[in-house]
Amino acid sequence: IEVDMAAQAETLKTVFNDPKNFNVKHPLYSAWTLWFDSPATKGRNLPQTPVTANTRRAAAHGWMEDIKRVINIDSVEEFWGLYNNILPPSALPQKANYYLFKEGIIPAWEDEANKLGGKWSIQLPKEKNRRHVDTLWLYTMLAAIGETFDPYLTDPELLEPHPESLVTGVIVSSRPQFYRISIWTRSAPGINSEDDDKLRQRIEGIGRHFKTSVLGYNEGQKLAGPLATEVEFISHKDSEKKGKGRKITV
Amino acid sequence: SGATKNVVAALPSALATARVIEDLDHISYPEGISSPKPELNTNSKKGKFRYDRDFLLQFMKVCTEKPDVPLDVIGLEAVGEQQHYPMTRTSSGRHRTSSTA
């Protein structure tokens, strides 16, 4: 059967045109995987990640046994179907985490995509943010899947047709006293000296977008306090140094 | 009835059969729905799009289909109806009410 392209174009129906019988969906820039863990998942779920000979993955394997891979999504419509059917962070059990990572990247610093990177994060006292955290996490996920975190990618002067985003994943953690939201990046300033200024600017741009557009604070606003931190970046390499790492704040 | 339910469940959902949009310019949204901010996609490759938050939030009330995977302890039904839609103040401010009267 020959398809008349013009006629077909006229019958493209999005979920807004026809919620039951739409025939096109909005692809995400990258496919994503949602992972989850809590004390309840420990030792109960095996990861569905294919076992590989990769030694870094093997190193992460012990920890990965406690984390459950929930689902892969690659469209806006699927994201919301998932979002509308799972608990928000405020309703998660104690010591639980959601990890939304690009498909193929495991949410561990041992992964090739993460090992030279770092994370932007903020810690928020639980009592004051119980209601607020759900919105902040939603906005964090939307900036991730919409791929608006990395200012380099949103530069209208951009000439490269399909540049790689620096973001590998986002995490929300629920702890007895606080919530933490993190943005993981593929690279971190100070790891490779090459083009470090450019990279630092790009990383700081992600932090500023996170603090102002996603979390809704003013640039330069002081946030640290009891159980609260600034919006701060630290490389995974420096995180290992227990308190001696250099932090960037915005 | 139970039989009707089974037939409905067996049909593939629109989500499963819908094709991926290759060119956003070919899409016309109904009145009241805004397109993604064009500056995010000035140089976009086929099917590689970036979306702003306001565009994405428009889907919240429309796309509610439960994914076909076990959601286990994070699924809303695991904790009962009262947990439904605890958000949000972000869109219309309306909350979905529980269907268990």
pLDDT of residue A44: 54
What is the rounded CA–CA span in Å between residue A70 and residue A85?
A: 12
**Helix segments in B39-100, DSSP class H:** 53-57
A13 within some domain:
no
Instruction: Give the confidence band of B77 by pLDDT, cuts at 50, 70, 90.
Output: confident
Residue A25 and residue B57: Cβ atoms within 8 Å?
no
Which residue, chain included where needed, has tokens 């059969």?
B17
Average pLDDT of every residue of chain B: 75
DSSP string, A112-162: TTTTT-EEEEEEEEHHHHTTHHHHHHHHHHHHHHTT-S-TTTT-TT---SS
Q: What is the amino acid identity at position A190?
A: G
Q: Does any domain span residue A22? A: no
Q: What is the pLDDT of residue A188?
A: 95
Total structural domains in chain A? 1
What value does the mean pLDDT of chain A take?
87
Give B22-58 pLDDT, tens digit per residue.
999 999 999 999 999 998 988 777 888 999 999 999 9
How high is the pLDDT of residue A41? 75
Q: Which member of A16, A93, A143 has the closest CB to residue B53? A: A143
A149 belongs to a structural domain: yes
Q: Which helix (H) or strand (E) holds A58?
A: helix A55-64
| Domain coverage including residue A47 | 31-155+164-249
Angle between helices A132-145 and A76-83 (to 10 degrees): 160
Q: Give the whole-angstrom CA distance, residue A38 versus residue A32.
A: 20
Residue entry with tokens 């394997």: A61
Domain of A221: which CATH number? Answer: 3.30.760.10
How confident is the model over B73-97, as a mean pLDDT? 52
The predicted structure's pLDDT at residue B87: 44
Q: Give the residue from chain A lying closest to B43, CA to CA.
A: A161
Could you read off the pLDDT of A193-225 as tens digits, one per residue? 667 888 999 999 999 999 999 999 999 899 999
Alpha carbons A141 and B48: distance in angstroms, whole number: 18
The number of helix segments (H) and strand segments (E) in chain A equals 7, 9
> Which residues lie closer than 8 Å to A58 by C-beta, 6 or more apart?
none
Residues of chain A with pLDDT under 50: 9, 45-54
Q: Is residue A81 part of a domain?
A: yes
Q: Which distant-in-sequence residues (6+ apart) come within 8 Å of B13 by Cβ?
A: B65
Model pLDDT for residues A65-87, shown as the tens digit of each residue: 789 999 999 999 999 999 999 99
- Sequence ranges of the domains in chain B: 18-83
- C-alpha distances (whole Å) from A192 to each of A27, A117, B37 are 33, 10, 35
Interface mutation target, options B50, B64, B66, chain A, most CBs of A under 10 Å: B50
Report chain B residues whose CB lies below 8 A from the CB of A216.
Answer: none
Flag whether residue B11 sits within 8 Å of chain A, measured between CB atoms: no
